[in-house]
Amino acid sequence: MSNISRQTVRRYLVETASSEPTYLRAHEIAGDLDGSPRAVAQYLSQLQDDLSLVSLEQWGRSKSTTWRLEVNES
């Protein structure tokens, strides 16, 4: 069972974002946070419309969903 929280994922996204787009996958984030990729994927979907400082967009799907992350310009 993963002990990762929504707040942990949110903090990771805010700290990782830059002015240049970054492309991430749930399993990469889970590896950095020592959590479950399934839990991270669920939180990413929930946080997509809930972040104000960064832009998180579902970008592409191949074997897993890729997320595009960058700091909001406003």
| 1 in a structural domain | no
CATH at residue 34: 1.10.10
Confirm whether 36 is domain-assigned: yes
Element (H, E) at 22: strand 22-25
pLDDT digits (tens, 9 = 90+) for 30-62: 999 999 999 999 999 999 888 888 999 998 777
Q: Tell me, what's the pLDDT at 1?
A: 44
- Written as six digits, the tokens of 50 are 């809930």
Percent of the chain scored above 70 by pLDDT? 96
Residue 54 lies in a domain: yes
What percent helix, strand, coil does the chain show, rounded to 5? 40, 25, 35
Q: Is residue 35 part of a domain?
A: yes
Average pLDDT, the chain: 89
| Domain ranges, residue 11 | 6-71
Number of domains forming the structure of the chain: 1
The share of the chain scoring above pLDDT 90, in percent, equals 69
